[in-house]
Amino acid sequence: MKKFFQENWKGIAMLIVAGFIMPTFVCNNCLHSLGLYLKVGLLNAVMWIALWMGNDRLGCLIDTKISWIERPVTRFLIGIVSTTLYTIGIIYIILYIFDWVFQLHLLGNNLGDTFQIAIVITFIISFFMHSRTFLLNWKQAIINSEILKKENIAAKYESLKNQVNPHFLFNSFNALSNLVYEDQDKAVSFIKQLSEVYRYVLDTRDKEVVTLEEEKKFLDSYLYLQQIRFGDKLKLEVKLDGVKSMVAPLVLQMLVENAIKHNIISEENPLTIRVYCQEDFLVIQNTLQKKTIMLEDSPGIGLDNIQKRYEFLSDKKVEVIQNDMFTVKLPIILESK
The beta strand positions in 12-144, using DSSP E, are none
**Residue 126 has what pLDDT?**
64
pLDDT for 318:
93
Give the model's confidence band at 297: pLDDT under 50 very low, under 70 low, under 90 confident, else very high.
very low
Averaged over 146-161, what is the pLDDT? Answer: 69
pLDDT on residue 320? 93
CA distance 98 to 101: 5
In whole angstroms, give the CA distance from residue 77 to residue 37. 38
Q: Which amino acid is at 273?
A: I
Q: Nearest Cα to 115, choosing from 195, 208, 47, 45? A: 47
Least trusted range by pLDDT, from 54-63, 82-91, 132-141, 201-210: 132-141
pLDDT, residue 298, reads: 47
State the Cα torsion 255-290-308-198 to the nearest 10°. Answer: -30
Residue 244 DSSP symbol: -
- One-letter amino acid at 238 equals V
Cα R_g (the chain), whole angstroms: 32
Under 8 Å between Cβ of 287 and 327: no
% of residues, the chain, pLDDT over 70 = 78
Residue-level pLDDT at 273? 94
pLDDT at residue 6, as a whole number: 63
Residue 325: DSSP 8-state: E
pLDDT for the residue numbered 63? 77
Mean pLDDT of the chain: 78
**What is the Cα–Cα distance from 49 to 11, expressed in whole angstroms?**
9
3 state DSSP class of 71: coil
Tell me: pLDDT of 10 over 60: yes
The answer to whether 277 and 239 are in contact (CB under 8 A) is: yes
Distance CA 212, CA 247 (A): 6
pLDDT of residue 337: 44
User: Rounded to the nearest 5°, which phi and psi values hold at 244?
Assistant: -105, 120
* pLDDT tens readout for residues 188-240: 888 888 887 778 877 877 777 899 999 998 888 888 888 887 888 999 899 99
pLDDT-derived band at 123 (thresholds 50, 70, 90) equals low
Dihedral (CA of 98, 100, 101, 104) sign: positive
Q: Which residues contact 191 (CB under 8 A, 6 or more apart)?
A: 176
pLDDT in tens, 27-66: 777 777 788 788 878 887 888 788 777 877 887 788 788 8
Q: Side chain identity at 75, as an amino acid letter? A: R
DSSP 3-state assignment of 25? helix
Q: For residues 132 and 129, what is the distance between their CA atoms, to the nearest angstrom?
A: 5
**3-class DSSP state of 314:** coil
Helices (H) and strands (E) in the chain, counts: 10, 7
Residue 25 has pLDDT above 80, yes or no: no
Rounded to the nearest 5 degrees, what angle is found at the Cα of 101, between the Cα atoms of 95 and 104? 60
